[in-house]
Amino acid sequence: MTHSFHHVPLGHRLGLERLRAAVDPAALAVGSEPATVSLLITHPEVKRRRLGSLHCTSRIEVHRAGRPVGSAELAYTTYPPALYDRLRGRYADAARAFAQALPLTPPVAADLVGRHLERDVVLSPTAAEHHWQLRVDPGHRILFDHPHDHVPGMVLLEAAAQAGRVVAGTPVLPVAFDARFSRYVEFDRACLLTAEALPAGPADQEGTGRVRVDATQDGAAVFSVTVTTRPQYG
């Protein structure tokens, strides 16, 4: 969509900087009749920068059968190949960076993070409570559908969601994310995550929980996510 609407060449690379997303769990119920899903995408901020990069803020509103389902706002920058390669340095070659992933670490129990299969777990236990190592499986066909030069944001959000479930201690459904990505997460070094419960806000519905997840690599902050959860029934 960014490529066609803003005439960004397909060879340009995208760097995600901020993401806010929320969903209404009641609107996701599956009925007996098919429903039309529509997306309204707007771009309230577009800035073209020197050397061909573009900074963009996109807003997405999702409706299902005319009913609001959720929304998202993303801030990101697109980079031309020469600029991206300079930015990424020795990690610019995706196939090479992908092949340097650390050996797969053991998972936490799948049921603790709301998963049925160990292969879908992206957290590895450490000696400290609510501290984990990011578990990166390059062979996972959904999380890694092609070689990447860094761990994708989708994997980082999944890790935050799983951490939020552990901290909640009861079955919950992540319904909102507020994430900032400050550095690329590399495959060849351990990424460590910590999580803590946050106090509920005055306008929160009963049962709403919030968990702050922070991640570091080589001691430097790489991303932080606040995950909002609601009780999961059924």
User: For residue 179, with 0-12 CB atoms within 10 Å meaning exposed, 13-18 middle and 19 or more buried, which class applies?
Assistant: buried
How is the chain classified by DSSP, letter by letter? -HHHHTT--TT-EEEEEEEEEEE-GGGG---SS---EEEEEEEEEEEE-GGG-EEEEEEEEEEETTEEEEEEEEEEEEE-HHHHHHHHGGG--HHHHHHTPPPPPPPPPGGGGT-SSGGG--EEE-SSTTEEEE---TT-TTT-SS--SS--HHHHHHHHHHHHHHHH-S-EEEEEEEEEE-SPPPTTS-EEEEEEEEPPPTTPPTT-EEEEEEEEETTEEEEEEEEEEEE---
User: How confident is the model at residue 25, as a pLDDT?
Assistant: 86
Query: Beta-carbon neighbour count of residue 99 at 10 Å?
Result: 12
Of the pLDDT bands very low, low, confident and very high (cuts 50, 70, 90), residue 234 is low
Q: In the chain, what percentage of residues exceed pLDDT 90? A: 76
Name the token pair of 46: 């577009």
User: How confident is the model at residue 200, as a pLDDT?
Assistant: 77
Q: Measuring CA to CA, how many Å separate 59 from each of 15, 163, 174, 179, 200? A: 16, 26, 20, 15, 26
**Average pLDDT, stretch 45-55?**
86
1 has pLDDT over 70? no
**Average pLDDT, stretch 118-139?**
96
By the 8 A CB rule, do 162 and 193 touch?
no
Task: Kindly report the backbone phi and psi dihedral angles of residue 212, in degrees, each rounded to the nearest multiple of 5, phi listed first.
Answer: -95, 125
**Mean pLDDT rounded to a whole number for the chain:** 91
Of the pLDDT bands very low, low, confident and very high (cuts 50, 70, 90), residue 6 is low
**Average pLDDT, stretch 128-140?**
96
